[in-house]
Amino acid sequence: MAGLLLSPTEKVFIVHGVQDDHRSDGRTNIDYRPMELETNVVSHATGSSRLRLANTDILVGVKTEIDVPTPEKPDLGKIEFYVDCSANAAPQFEGRGGEQLAIGIAKLMQAAYHSSDAFDLKQLCIFEGKQCWKIYVDILILECGGNLCDAVSMAVKAALFNTKLPSVKAALMDGGNIDLQLSDDPYDAKSLDIGTAPLLVTLCKIGDKCVVDPSAEEESCSVISVVVGVTGNPSSYSTEENVSDSAKESKFTTIEMVGSGSVAPKTLKDAMNQGMVAAKLLDKALGEALLRERQETQVKTKKHSYGFLR
Amino acid sequence: MTSHVKIRLASERVNHSVPTNRELPRFYTPGEVVTGMEDFMRGHGTYASDDCLKASVAGVMQKVNKLICVRPLKNRYVGEIGDVVVGRVLEVQQRRWKVETNSRLDSVLQLSSVNLPGGELRRRSAEDEQMMRKHLQEGDLISAEVQSVFSDGSLSLHTRSLKYGKLSQGILMKVFPSLIKRRKNHFHNLPCGISVIIGNNGYIWISPPEQNNLVEEEKDEIVNVEVQCISRSDRETMARVRNCIAALVASKMLLDDTSIMFAYEESLKYDNVKELLDPEAMLDVAFLTQHRINNVLEE
């Protein structure tokens, strides 16, 4: 997304490579670069995660607040996304430079989470019509190495997986107002049900084919990319087996084109199929990693945070 | 078969350091006291405060007689005359091109220091000035030699030899300039059939071998070479070389033709090139390469 200068011959090389299903670093068109994930990195956030995909570095913090639900949807909570592009990521993000990109990603995330198949807002309801949880998801882009949307969506899902809402101990009715008493015990909290939370997959159209996880160089070779949001499979995120089959099925929750080009109908269909396959693989790998980390935390009582030291 | 997606946890992070048999120098962090003031001279990367010399960058100390310098690990390229560099043309200006070479200031390639098509040396006419964008345009990659260094540290380049000039198809890698080993020759045709230009500025150009025959003769022919498809096997070898260099860089090992070739040979045990993106495989390749380099040094 950031402007990168490439010579015409370098572009020819990349385009031919995609055609050949063999990219500059040996990956095929549906391979992702290795990722690194850590949750619970920000101690004062309700949930947080950090994801590093090659050179793309994303930090997500989740904060919760008690809010009043909208009158039209009294039984639903709220979720809001905010993206901030650090000027450390790219020089053009300085000042208000990254605003357009940030708003674009936030809108995409909002659209992907909008469906009730993707994220059930009913679980954020505390007292119908009166009070609900509002979740603020703050996404910080620390480094930009291509494929921001995918990395952001995965980091968000990991951060929501890590989020625990405190349980309500007592509610005092005082006329029309409700006074809530929340539990102080950090272990007396419930996790969010995020199994079906969507992941975004960017399919970058290079030549006639589409690739997932484009590097910054590959991104500058393509004029248009298709971003699809695909719901996850809850069975990857819990050890329990009682998941209904309808929830297991992946569905598209958003489809968006980014860029100035156009796509032929057949290419779009192929891209969506490829996106569905990639999203399933991503979702499974993410679930495995998160469960593995949870297990590790349970074994060791005091977890040592790795954070940014490398 | 490796899977398409791999997510590792921060706790499974691989430490890329490779043991060497040489003693590691002391590493100074910014603000750390290097030495007392008494008869030492303050060099680059140091500053004086409270009667002590302190490091202003993170790096290792170098001492020449009484002069104390701290050489940073990560820095911009500091050019020297005669260095081979790989750079990207940023701008076409009056009688010169601005070239990005990873140094603090953009370098300059004068119209008078390039070989124009047609061969023999001649005065640059006004037509040549108008044709500059035909010759090199924005975004083009070039290999060049440092002709002189201006007083502000910016470089003046020249491409007055057949081995320098515009680069066609290939992969550009950016590494720290401090990892490049200074050699007599920076143009290598590796035995695996790939040519590599290891620029002193930390830019490495990996290209298929035909590219070296590219002599500026007929303009049509050059255009042909530029859009030719590269064979699958060449592409695989290039990707493997690229991943090997990435593995060596992750372990902070010096790059020259020997270390790249050793790494390439060690990497052959991984059949699939993309397996080399895995941090464990990268460490393994770097470790085996270091082992072979140690063996060669002992002999």
The tens digit of pLDDT for each residue in A184-231 reads 777 778 888 888 888 899 988 888 888 888 888 888 888 888 898 888
The tens digit of pLDDT for each residue in A103-126 reads 988 998 888 888 888 888 888 888
The verdict on a CB contact (< 8 Å) between B235 and A5 is no
Q: Which domains does chain B have, with CATH numbers?
A: 12-72 (2.40.50.100)
Q: Containing H/E element for B260?
A: helix B257-267
Q: pLDDT band at B148, cuts 50/70/90?
A: very high
Q: pLDDT band at A310, cuts 50/70/90?
A: low
B243 — contact with chain A (CB < 8 Å)?
Answer: yes
Contact residues on chain B for A286, CB-CB shorter than 8 A = 7
Higher per-residue confidence, A49 vs A2: A49
The verdict on a CB contact (< 8 Å) between B8 and A34 is yes
Contact residues on chain A for B4, CB-CB shorter than 8 A = 28, 30-32, 278, 281
Pick from A60-64, B9-13, B95-99: least confident: B9-13
Mean per-residue pLDDT, B50-74: 87
The tens digit of pLDDT for each residue in A30-66 reads 888 888 888 888 888 888 999 988 888 999 999 988 8
- Tell me the CB-side half-sphere exposure of residue A65, using CA atoms within 13 A: 11
B61 close to B46: Cβ distance less than 8 angstroms: no
Buried-exposed string A117-152: b where 16+ CB fall within 10 A, e elsewhere: bbbbbebbbbbeebbbbbbbbbbbbbebbbbbbbbb
Q: Cα–Cα distance between A8 and A21 in angstroms, integer?
A: 20
Q: Assign domain A8-299 to a CATH class.
A: alpha beta
The tens digit of pLDDT for each residue in A154-177 reads 999 999 988 888 888 777 777 767
Mean per-residue pLDDT, A132-150: 88
Write the CB contacts of A287 (distance below 8 Å, at least 6 apart in sequence).
A232, A233, A236, A237
Q: Which value does ipTM take for this structure?
A: 0.84
Which pair of tokens denotes residue B85? Answer: 């560099």
User: Is residue B225 pLDDT above 70, yes or no?
Assistant: no
Residues 114-173 in B contacting A (C-alpha not used; CB under 8 Å)? 138-141, 167-172
Q: pLDDT band at B200, cuts 50/70/90?
A: very high
Which pair of tokens denotes residue A26? Answer: 């040996």
The per-residue pLDDT for B221 is: 54
